[in-house]
Amino acid sequence: MKNSGQVSFEFFFVVATVVVLTIVIAALAGDRLNELKSRQINTRFTDIAYAVKSEIDIAHSMAPGYMRDFELPDSVEGDNYSVVITGNSLTVSSGSKEYIISIQPVSGEINKGWNTIRKDDTVVING
């Protein structure tokens, strides 16, 4: 028969092992959740960039007189971002991340919220 000291030690050892395993599993799950959230945010930023590119491409393919309103979100998953058109590139940035894609020529400035794109002789956003 085991003495009470040995039973107490074995119980403590089992409880400590379970606690350590729980902490390790929670840490791994937390890292995985952070990675998934980061990927989701990255996907949303690239979606914004390609949505703007698509609006510009559509406007270029239309006849003069084309006009359309489109909206960009104020934030993505609570993260602030900026969107800027410089020359033939569109930049969507947030913190240390930056997404740059090539676009057809367009004049004007793009904003978060509602934007108007139109084509007369050239394609203009909010102009």
Q: How confident is the model at residue 90 (pLDDT cuts 50, 70, 90)?
A: very high
Cβ(64)–Cβ(120) below 8 Å: yes
Q: How far is CA 77 from CA 38, 40, 69, 127, in A?
A: 10, 9, 23, 29
What's the pTM? 0.75
Identify residue 78 by its one-letter amino acid code.
G
Q: Which residue has the tokens 């729980």?
A: 22
Per-residue pLDDT tens over the stretch 6-63: 778 888 889 999 999 999 999 888 889 888 888 888 889 999 999 999 999 999 999 9
> What is the residue extent of each domain of the chain?
4-125
Helix (H) or strand (E) holding 53: helix 4-61
